[in-house]
Chains A and B, each alone.
Chain A
């Protein structure tokens, strides 16, 4: 190896260490038997996980997150898949403008969405409700579904749809029986992206949801704002495990797609 390669490897390893170390360094604190946020640990225990499990807001916050994330993934996944299929099928007037609207939630700062939805959802009774939060998170996750499904459709040969229709299949049947099975890994990956977007979202949840819809990230944000307890580290561990599962799911889905 040349000296410049060695230097590159050292730099790259340090960069990966910088990415991985902060989270890996603090997660073991959640197994502490004491209540300090530094090392060495006075002993090991699961008391902070017991606290997470028994408290009246942490476990419900986890369920709320899973509920909202699933709802948002279903809404974004179904609408996003249909839209991606339509975008892929044919050119139509104003397509680039439509595309800009569909992808806009990716670039508009979350705080603007949060305040705008607080104002718009208030009179409709959608603030402090699961429906409102699911709709908002579905809007934020939909672009990821559109992009992922469009990528999956690039691998799909449109001739198969013509073959299906010449064999007598209706367009719906051709889509469901021929196209969907082949792009399903992409659809599922898009839905996982939408779920992950919802699971990570703080600003909108902070502004439009009430105490009954507290999600896990929102609960962590309020905890970090007042005083940091080690229960937050236990919650962080739960979120990290969930994210790792989602990453694993997406990686497996990517491998299954052609």
Chain B
């Protein structure tokens, strides 16, 4: 066996482990963004009957008959197994055409006793079946794959004819959530850079006996658990918390200030938590810097500012790039801190992933939002690779 294969065999256990418990689960989860599994098993004949429908006028009698038969069968199956398949299909269809959550179960209940031709029976149960809208929703959700969720997280949806259009104003929230996520992440990164660079500079240029203290001052908070630091901010900022009690005792304010559950609290805690990730890489590259170079620049007549801008700063750019990358990527994924310290308007994409996964059990939307988040992260990583390169990162 060649040395190459031996080396690969040593890497294989961890690689297989990560493929099994990390890559495959995430891949399978992300696929749910395009899979349609809820409607076709309940309405198989209807989906088939709608396949050659033009989407403009009402579908033909065959589709009405298929729907009546599908719903009778699905209701009987649900009563037997109590699987709730009709309710699941109704929830999925409701996401496309609001009204389906009640329309589908009601139709399934009443169609059992209905008589006469299916078209008249369905129209007598609800006039909604006389418009193309619910039929279009069924066809779009028929599967096996659709771009419904991916379009929904970009505030887009397909109309009855299949063309992409803007989603109605009431449903269009995700673009603003995405911008908010990028904005909060970007702002946190900039603030961390503004505080972190001077601090790293001080650490790299301080007299040797002070350096361990400064490093400890950064490392100790870095190692303190994220949940503890979030809890600390909650206790400091809450209505009957440390800061408000102190302000009132000092007679600066009469009433407690609303310091918690707002954007400022989220940013403050995020900067506090992420600052060490900015300081340590910059400190690493400043420590490795050859300090004779800026001194040489100054002895050749450059002002201290010019020597910094033309010599020290460019040489520390790998650290700055690594710090900004680490901070921004982590900021995009922040869930716990905004969930605890932010208000309704400060929640970022990860909150909505958790919301769809746990509250409404809408895996498709959770997966589509995850795709959005991962694309953002991948773009940042690729940008970093292009601008700085992965080989140059030095950590402290």
Tell me, yes or no, whether A binds B: yes
- Mark A residues whose CB is within 8 Å of B: 4, 8-9, 11-12, 15-16, 18-20, 22-23, 25-26, 29, 36-39, 75, 79-80, 82-83, 85-87, 89-93, 98, 101-102, 104-105, 107-121, 135-136, 138-139, 142, 146, 171, 196, 199-200, 202-203, 207, 217, 220-221, 224-225, 228, 232-233, 236, 239-240, 243-244, 246-247
Q: How far is the CA of A40 from the CA of B51 in the complex (A)?
A: 72
Chain B interface bracket (under 10, 10 to 19, 20 to 34, 35 or more): 35 or more
State whether A29 touches B229 (Cβ < 8 A): no
Is B298 part of the binding interface, using a Cβ–Cβ cutoff of 8 Å? no
Interface residues of B in 337-363 (CB under 8 A from A): 339-340, 350, 353-354, 357-358, 363
Q: How far is the CA of A199 from the CA of B226 in the complex (A)?
A: 10
State whether B220 touches A20 (Cβ < 8 A): yes
With A104-B18, A119-B28, A228-B231 given, name 17 new contacts (CB 8 A): A15-B196, A22-B232, A22-B233, A26-B242, A79-B17, A83-B13, A86-B10, A90-B4, A92-B8, A108-B26, A112-B333, A112-B353, A136-B21, A142-B14, A203-B354, A240-B225, A247-B219
Main secondary structure of the interface of B (DSSP, over half): helix
State whether A109 touches B350 (Cβ < 8 A): yes
Q: How far is the CA of A105 from the CA of B9 in the complex (A)?
A: 21
Tell me the nearest residue of chain B to A223, going by C-beta. B231
Partner of A26, one of B201, B232, B246, B276: B232
Partner of A39, one of B17, B198, B234, B246: B246
A92: chain B residues at CB < 8 Å are 4-5, 7-8, 11
Partner of B240, one of A23, A37, A90: A37
Is B218 part of the binding interface, using a Cβ–Cβ cutoff of 8 Å? yes
10 pairs of A and B residues whose beta carbons are closest in the complex: A109-B333, A86-B10, A38-B245, A120-B25, A116-B29, A12-B202, A90-B7, A16-B217, A83-B14, A86-B11
State whether B18 touches A142 (Cβ < 8 A): yes
Q: How far is the CA of A76 from the CA of B324 in the complex (A)?
A: 27
Partner of B234, one of A11, A109, A139, A228: A228
Q: Say how far A116's CB is from chain B's closest CB, in angstroms.
A: 4
Q: Say how far B344's CB is from chain A's closest CB, in angstroms.
A: 15
Q: What 1/0 flags go to B15-37 for Cβ under 8 Å of A?
A: 10111011111101110100000
State whether B242 touches A38 (Cβ < 8 A): yes
- Mark B residues whose CB is within 8 Å of A: 3-15, 17-19, 21-26, 28-30, 32, 195-196, 198-199, 201-203, 214, 217-221, 223-236, 238, 240-242, 244-246, 272, 275-276, 304, 329, 332-333, 335-336, 339-340, 350, 353-354, 357-358, 363, 366, 370, 373-374, 377, 381
State whether A115 touches B14 (Cβ < 8 A): no
A93: chain B residues at CB < 8 Å are 4
Partner of B214, one of A12, A18, A244: A12
A246: chain B residues at CB < 8 Å are 223
Known: A83-B11, A142-B18, A228-B234. Contact between A22 and B198, CB under 8 A?
no
Q: Say how far A66's CB is from chain B's closest CB, in angstroms.
A: 14
Q: Say how far A44's CB is from chain B's closest CB, in angstroms.
A: 17
Known: A109-B335, A221-B227. Contact between A82 and B340, CB under 8 A?
no
State whether A108 touches B374 (Cβ < 8 A): yes
State whether B225 touches A15 (Cβ < 8 A): no
